[in-house]
Structure formats: C-alpha cells, structure tokens
Copies of this chain bind each other. A is one copy, B any other.
C-alpha cells in the first residue's frame, strides 16, 4: 500500500490498522508531510507495520520495484486516462500478477484531492470503488479498508471457507429434535391449551394439525424441545394444582 502525501495522522493510522486487519504488511509513504507523518508513527497503538513503513520523496520511487501499480479513487469528476477496474474485479488481477512473480502497489492519494493526474501517470490502471454518485468521495482510511477487504476476501477464501464450515458445524451440532420428541411436545402443549381453555374441544382437531405443522416449521433442536416440554409441564402442574397467585 502506498499513501501519497497523506495529511491527517488519524487517517494514516486508520490505513495502517486496516492493513493489519487484513494481513497486509508493506506500507510505503510518498512525499509525506513530515510532522503529520511523525505524529502518525508515534501514536499509541500504532501497528508494527507503521513503524516499519518505508518513506520516499516521490511516488515514482515508491513504486520503482512494482510490476503492477493500481491507483485508487473516484472517477466521478474526471475522465480516466488508464483502464479502469471495478473493485470486485481487482482481486483476480492482483492474484494473477503475484502468481507470475510480480509486485503490486495499491496507491491512495491525499485526503484533499486524491491522486493527481501526474500521480496517475505512474499507474497501470485505476480501481474504482463503486460509491454513490451523490457522495462519491471516501474517507482515506475507509477506502483503504474497503480495497484491502476485497483483496483479502478473495485470497483468503479457502481459509474462510474452512472457518465458516467449522462454525456451521458448531451451529448444527445439537441436532434437530426427532419426530418423536416433537410429538410428545405437541401432546403436552395441547393438554395445556385445553387446560387454559385456549382450545375449545370443537377446534382441537384443527389445532393439533396446526400445532404439528408449526413445531416442524420451527426446526426446533432436541435440547430446546426438552426445555419447552419442561416449561409446559410446569404450566400444566400449576394449572391443575393452582398457583400462589390465584385468588
């Protein structure tokens, strides 16, 4: 990631944090404003990669060893001279370049005016973040976060898949209640309904049917079904034997 003349130390810190969040390491700052850059680096909690960042006087030096240089920005106010890539397509592009042994730079301009025409002349292409035309201009730290998320989400897809699978498995672990458990639950609920005068006897046939459908629609887990049964049995006991609150 290359930041060109970033102004706000908070934004520099935010960009570095986003890099750490998504597993990126190499930060390069071109033509920084010395005091702001110092302030950003000395901030409490600044990630390690901010201290290890490289610094250069010009963007040209910063991207000297890169084989693919991608500028970022909104295109609302100007006609780009380079090919434009929509952000969702950037991952494939970067992956291909790295697979063939190249180095990729993702370049962000200053908060005030973004990348200049001169800056863009160092870029092979432009990535466009698909923002709303009424408010196209993103905060620097947020733009970095969104771009790196997109790149990380693609390259980390395999790893995530594994994690999500583990989570899904965890969620499914208790297992749905069996038909038998649901049937016993339905019986108890029905008895409670009758005891509470909720279900006039003429309606019981229809209610039993609806109740069964409902219990299955709910995809109740075994454990939850047992708890529900416990509750309805307590209710039934109270209804039949009276509770302390009755008159």
A9 within 8 A of B: no
- CB atoms of A20 and B134 under 8 A apart: yes
* Identical copies in the complex: 2
- B20 in contact with A231 (CB, 8 Å): no
- Cβ B242 vs Cβ A247 within 8 A: yes
Given A10-B10, A130-B163, 13 other A-B residues pairs in contact with their CB atoms under 8 A: A14-B139, A20-B134, A21-B129, A83-B168, A130-B156, A139-B141, A163-B164, A165-B168, A195-B238, A240-B245, A241-B247, A242-B242, A242-B246
Q: What residues on B are CB-neighbors of A169 within 8 Å?
A: 219
Contact A20 B132 (CB under 8 A): yes
Q: Complex: how many Å from CA A145 to CA B131?
A: 11
A17 within 8 A of B: yes
A160 CB-CB contact with B under 8 Å = yes
How far is it, in angstroms, between the C-alpha of A130 and the C-alpha of B23 when the chains are bound? 10
Main secondary structure of the interface of A (DSSP, over half): helix
Please tell me if the beta carbons of A238 and B196 are within 8 angstroms of each other in the complex: yes
Q: Which 10 A-B pairs have the closest CB atoms?
A: A20-B135, A142-B145, A23-B132, A198-B234, A242-B246, A218-B218, A84-B167, A163-B164, A196-B234, A146-B149
Query: What residue of chain B has the Cβ atom nearest to residue A163's Cβ?
Result: B164
Contact A149 B132, CB 8 Å, known A196-B238, A241-B246, A246-B240: no
A218 vs B18: C-alpha distance when bound (angstroms): 36
